Copies of this chain bind each other. A is one copy, B any other.
Amino acid sequence: MQTIKIGMLGIGNIGKGTYQTLEINREKITQATGLDLEITKILNRHPEIDRGIDIPREKYVTDIKEILEDPEISIVVELIGGIEPATTFMADALRAGKHVVTANKAAIAKNGQMLTELAQKQQRILRFEASVAGGIPILNAITSALISNEFSSVQGILNGTTNYILTKMTEEGASYEDVLKDAQKKGFAEADPTADVEGIDAANKLSILISLLFGKGVGPDEIPTRGISNVSSEDIAFAEKFGYKIKLLASATSKDGQLTCDVEPSLVPQDHPLANVNNEYNAVYVTGNAVDNLMFYGKGAGPLPTGSAVMGDIIGVARKIEKDAAYDLMSHLRYDADLEFIGEGCNPYYIRLQTYDRPGILGQITSTFGVYGISIKTMMQQALNSEKTALDVLIQNQSVASVDNVLRVLNS
């Protein structure tokens, strides 16, 4: 098994998440793909800073040339962020014959066309799954499994900070300013939150989605963009009363040869799948002419979710380099994992009973549960009429494979 060597640019949060994802799941990755992956060099211009992660110091280099001129490195992973020097580094890497993986939405939104053309000219791969919606594999899906569709629209909750703020405003009835301050204290919002709260981050991501879904170049600056700083707690309360939740939506529609798009706070009907996308979660809702409506939901940021997307791209590239890699992963249904099959799991269950309202009946019921070793978590009683009463019983984690009239309770 050949080792595929990777050079990583930057060791911030996403760099650390990528490194950790590979370390903790190395065995799974090798078993599933037949690939041995190794991050051999990391560009770190301040090796004296403690990054809070255990990485052998000899991997650190301070000059990108040590990566670009290393003939053993075939994949360069750009995780510096920002437009420059990231764009120049990626272009140099492609010119040096390296494949490039990046998580950089700003650089791809701004310079994706140049980088794409350069990659094609160099016959090298450029991948950027993590640049849109973090761990959610939306770019991979629309460029592979869904590729046979003509797409007509996309609506995305693409920014975790604003979604966190709107969720807290909804749950706590608090003002935008108060929630923002709290989010900054907890590290969910940056000291200068402009790029997030004014929708600029979402516009970058929408620009990339528009290019992949509709094949049209629309720069982030061209997208009409309105942030959430004007959304008040009164807006949220009114929306709720009329059956809506407020979300910052990034939307684009292709219809009759015309493309429209915008980023703006929007009322989403409470029964729409986008309405239950809360806190720091992201979601992308796309419509294709064969597949119809689809939604992808997950964590749009964070070291490990983003690391998952970066590693997915690295493995995708590595499998094209290493032809002996598992021929087709979907074929690899496996049946032999070292896992004991238990059958039904232990879950909380809900049981509804009707009984006559007579003294002692509750005690009889609870003792009967006890005889069968079933612990009751809560029990609620509600009179149905003068004679009968309804009991709602929530039982503790239990296996109930042989019982019919029970309903499992999914933990939230």
Q: In A260-309, which residues have CB < 8 Å from any B CB?
A: 260-262, 264-269, 271-278, 281, 288-299, 302, 304-305, 307-309
Least CB separation from A341: chain B residue:
B259
A178 at the interface (CB under 8 A from B): no
B299-A340 in contact (CB<8A): no
B139-A146 in contact (CB<8A): no
Residues of B within 8 A of A120 (CB): 327, 331
Give 1 or 0 for each of A338-368: 1 = CB within 8 Å of chain B CB. Answer: 1111111110001010000000000000000
Give 1 or 0 for each of A377-399: 1 = CB within 8 Å of chain B CB. Answer: 00000000000001010000000
B344-A260 in contact (CB<8A): yes
A392-B331 in contact (CB<8A): no
Cα separation A126 to B329 with both chains bound (whole Å): 9
The SS class assigned to the A binding surface is mixed
B25-A148 in contact (CB<8A): yes
Q: Which of B128, B218, B296 contacts A294 (CB 8 A)?
A: B296
B24-A289 in contact (CB<8A): yes
Q: Which of B32, B129, B218, B267 contacts A410 (CB 8 A)?
A: B267
Stretch at the interface among A44-52, A58-66, A74-82, A207-215: A207-215
Distance of A294 from chain B, by nearest CB (Å): 4
What size tier do the contact residues of chain A reach? 35 or more
Residues of B within 8 A of A149 (CB): 21, 25, 28, 308
Q: Which of B148, B231, B278, B335 contacts A216 (CB 8 A)?
A: B335
Residues of B within 8 A of A242 (CB): 392
Q: Which of B32, B304, B404 contacts A147 (CB 8 A)?
A: B32
Cα separation A234 to B388 with both chains bound (whole Å): 15
Residues of B within 8 A of A338 (CB): 257
A238 at the interface (CB under 8 A from B): yes
Q: Which of B17, B140, B274, B340 contacts A141 (CB 8 A)?
A: B140
A55 at the interface (CB under 8 A from B): no
Cα separation A77 to B292 with both chains bound (whole Å): 22
A125 at the interface (CB under 8 A from B): yes
B145-A266 in contact (CB<8A): no
A88 at the interface (CB under 8 A from B): no
Cα separation A4 to B12 with both chains bound (whole Å): 45
A412 at the interface (CB under 8 A from B): yes
Instruction: With A108-B333, A253-B345, A293-B299 given, name 14 new contacts (CB 8 A).
Output: A21-B290, A25-B150, A25-B289, A125-B327, A135-B291, A140-B144, A143-B330, A148-B315, A235-B352, A259-B339, A290-B305, A294-B298, A316-B328, A320-B328
Residues of chain A touching chain B, judged by Cβ–Cβ distance below 8 Å, are: 17, 20-22, 24-25, 28-29, 32-33, 108, 112-113, 116, 119-120, 123, 125-129, 135-137, 139-141, 143-150, 155, 208, 211-212, 214-218, 222, 224, 226, 230-231, 234-235, 238-239, 242, 244, 246, 249, 251, 253-254, 257-262, 264-269, 271-278, 281, 288-299, 302, 304-305, 307-309, 311-313, 315-317, 320, 327-346, 350, 352, 390, 392, 401, 404-405, 407-412
Query: 12 A-B contacts, Cβ less than 8 Å apart?
Result: A17-B290, A113-B335, A116-B333, A120-B327, A127-B331, A139-B330, A144-B312, A266-B408, A267-B408, A273-B297, A290-B311, A296-B296
